[in-house]
Structure 1
């Protein structure tokens, strides 16, 4: 019987009792049968490491998810230097274009293996085992959230029903049920509820370890604040953000350290980041290689729209900084992201949860609930060499989000969650005309291979 491709990506793990986690290559540790292989809590750690490693793939956070969410906005475009990302930037993708569907469900499968393991049958520290299961719940929530935003039809008018994505909670085996093997799409509301359930479990199970390369208690809360803002659940966003602010011990990077902070690991503002080591770095398929040419040695397909320079003041470290390179800079006459992900070989860690984003989430939620949003909003420009705001409006908050989070993959989500059109503002953009909110192209097609393998899967409108 043909199984759903999504579930064929289910990862199987063998961890010989004689192996330690140091013996395992995190990119290769999930290739064999799991039956009898999980005997110790440390084995679960190896599976978690494998899940993080899969998230660093160039098809996921290693490049494609971030870049695709930039080139479809008023931040960036593809100049076609090597032919990369012109399809995505032109909203011309189809059910065979390829995106991060397979990588995402592979990560989810790893998380499910850890979540569904009975700790009482293992050797080792049970408290640590519960913490690892908490990490797995947080990973599962994040990846389903990513899938929902890209493949779900939240913002498509008259989309197919149900318009969510399959929320997979089982680790597959020969005993799996037909519905587990061929899962239908959940509704958007069901996926949202399951994400919050997983984040609640993550928070309850985890400790605050202080290791930013792994999910922690307050990283789960920071993610909860992000999800709550996306779905306009403002009270929940306020509560989650305040938990992190009051207990996490994080701080905003000051202006003088801002640019350099993207070339170093960790830092007072990092809540959770993916580590890129010798195994995980993407080299020529990484973020730096696509953002810059580095003297002609890199692809440099993703260029910044010329007009973007004008949204920054001359003293703002995120802009040109009095004509010199801040985050923005020039290669010849091409405006570029010069400061974020600066290592051309792809060894820079990729921050998925920064404290600055949390503060902006908090400011927006406070504005929506009648709190002191202005104080929170102004914490960001006060540390960037930029003028303070006199009023906390939706427009000002979104502008500050654009400035602070540019090149990190947030802009597309911000436009859609606020019901905005994808405006044609520059001749440099790859799409021909403004794409109205509700257009079917705002959601990706379910991959053709998935459609062929799963009779319960429903394709998105327009594909």
Structure 2
């Protein structure tokens, strides 16, 4: 990000007209999809929080042995190394996305063959992507907002200008400033959205005013800005036109092969070749084909055992026996594959259920416990779970409902940390650190050494 790209002429040529900018915006979405669906980030929050464990090796001399995936082995043990960080590609990819978004934002106002409405829509999407990439970096590389009383601890470098020439050495913002910049970007983006779509393809795969508001609600949640979290989530629920999946359709919706659940606010489309064949999807991590063809990640009993037997969501697990070494002997052991991400499953970025749970938590934190309980019960009733009848331990019940409803969608670890909970991984944990007490310096990852060496103003996280 600090190096001159060496393609200045090509950038100028590409972004001089509307079609070139739209091509760049389409490519930007491709980069975002690849970054969030990468194995590292896609499993990170659920693996660290305890929703995920590993399957045994399916064949060969190591058949039946269980080991962590190489791409996340250091992270999984809360022992990532700055020099060889498992997340270097995520860090670099995120800032590449930000730089591309900034280029689009800089060139779009001068377009002569686009209407003002089209230019506003392009810039709204690019600015939302810029905010989204910064937000994901903030929760991975910065401690939670309330780690210090005034959020004065280190956040991230916030980039609002493209790097086209020369070398820049930006410093990290505080977490308070980081969140303010994210919120500022999102508010400006939301004010520019229109109904005039500029890209072709499934509308659910691009940011729009509703998914931008959903992102803003999530940012407010992470910030513990309860009033704004409530108002923004409520806005999405009330005005988006999206409805919760009906109880009778819940299981069938998750079983669809090529389409997202109907309550989706944003799901990044999986890459396909010219013949329409899917290149890669979430099923490459969670998929099951047969007793000898399956992928690396399954649900731990820590999450499976949280569901009541009558809970429909318990049926979203496919239980299969796999040959596993037990005391040196290959033995069939049952594993629970999630049905959320089979076939051509894409990355679920935002869906309406999350907005109900954000609204519930924000209502509780603003002294509206009855309103909070009602929202939780909407989600529980849809799942055929026992309804709450009083507000005792409601905060814990909301967090529990988030874990059950949003499992494998990238929330658990960040929820635990923002609520200052300890990490406790039990079933299937093969890490040297299965439990971690809050606060911990290891709840954030190291800035890759390559980047700190290149930028003398880029301060490393403590303990790395």
Q: TM-score over 0.5 for the alignment?
A: yes
Helix, strand or coil at the partner of 2:203? coil
Question: Does 2:122 correspond to 1:123?
Answer: no
**Which residue is equivalent to 1:52?**
29
Q: How does 1:398-409 map to 2 (within 5 A)?
A: 398-409=399-410
Unaligned regions of 5+ residues in structure 2, if any? Answer: 58-66, 323-332
Partner of 1:383: 382
Instruction: Tell me what 1:101 maps to.
Output: 91
1:273 corresponds in structure 2 to: 267
- Runs of 4+ in structure 1 over 4 Å off: 9-13, 155-158, 279-286, 296-299
Kept after mapping to 1: 8 A contact 2:47/2:76: yes
Secondary structure of the residue aligned to 2:355 is: helix
Q: Residue 418 and residue 83 in structure 1: after superposition, are their counterparts in 2 closer, same or farther (change >3 A)?
A: closer
SS in 2 for 1:116: helix
Distance 1:427 1:351 in 2: 25
Asked whether the equivalents of residues 142 and 155 of structure 2 are also in contact (C-alpha less than 8 Å), the reply is yes
Q: 1:246: Cα distance to partner?
A: 2.0
Specify whether residues 182 and 430 from structure 1 end up closer, same or farther in structure 2 by C-alpha distance, changes over 3 A only: same
What SS class does the counterpart of residue 303 from structure 1 fall into?
A: strand
Which aligned pairs between 1:351-390 and structure 2 lie closer than 5 A? 351-371=348-368, 372-390=371-389
Question: How has the CA–CA distance of structure 1 residues 103 and 298 changed in structure 2, closer, same or farther, with 3 Å as cutoff?
Answer: farther
Q: Which residue of structure 2 aligns with residue 315 of structure 1? A: 310
What residue in structure 1 maps to residue 172 of structure 2?
A: 185
Q: Which moved more, 1:33-42 or 1:278-287?
A: 278-287
After superposition, where does 1:75-114 map in structure 2 within 5 Å?
A: 75-79=51-55, 81=57, 83-84=68-69, 85-95=72-82, 96-99=84-87, 100-114=90-104
CA shift for structure 1 position 106: 1.2
Number of residues paired by the alignment? Answer: 426
Q: Is the 8 A contact 1:71 1:78 kept in 2?
A: no
Give the distance between the partners of 1:282 and 1:418, measured in 2 at CA.
42
Cα offset for 1:369? 0.9
- Which range is displaced more, 149-158 or 71-80? 149-158
Q: Residues 157-306 of structure 1: matches in 2 within 5 Å?
A: 163-174=154-165, 181-208=168-195, 211-262=203-254, 263=256, 264-279=258-273, 286-296=281-291, 298=293, 300-306=295-301
Question: What is the alpha-carbon distance in structure 2 between the residues aligned to residue 153 and residue 282 of structure 1?
Answer: 40
Query: How far, CA to CA, are the matches of 2:366 and 2:242 in structure 1?
Result: 24
CA contact (8 A) 1:212 1:273 kept: yes
Q: Please state how far the C-alpha of 1:277 moved relative to its aligned partner.
A: 3.0
> Partners of 2:342 and 2:4 in 1: how far apart?
33
What TM-score does the superposition give when structure 1 sets the normalisation length? 0.85
TM-score between the two structures when normalised by the length of structure 2? 0.84
SS in 2 for 1:277: coil
Larger strand fraction of residues: 2
Shift of 1:428: 3.0
Are 1:9 and 1:102, in contact at CA under 8 Å, matched by a contact in 2? no
Question: Of residues 123, 140, 144 in structure 2, which corresponds to 1:150?
Answer: 140
What SS does structure 2 have at the residue aligned with 1:353?
A: strand
Which of 347, 350, 356 matches 1:350?
347
In structure 2, what is the Cα distance between the partners aligned to 1:78 and 1:8?
Answer: 39
Q: What secondary structure, in the 3-state scheme, does the structure 2 residue paired with 1:50 have?
A: helix
| Superposed displacement of residue 213, structure 1 | 1.0
Matches within 5 A, 1:23-62: 33-57=10-34, 59-62=35-38
Which structure dedicates a bigger proportion of its chain to helix?
Answer: 2
Runs of 5+ consecutive residues of structure 1 not aligned to the other structure: 1-5, 14-31
Deviating more after overlay: 262-271 vs 239-248: 262-271
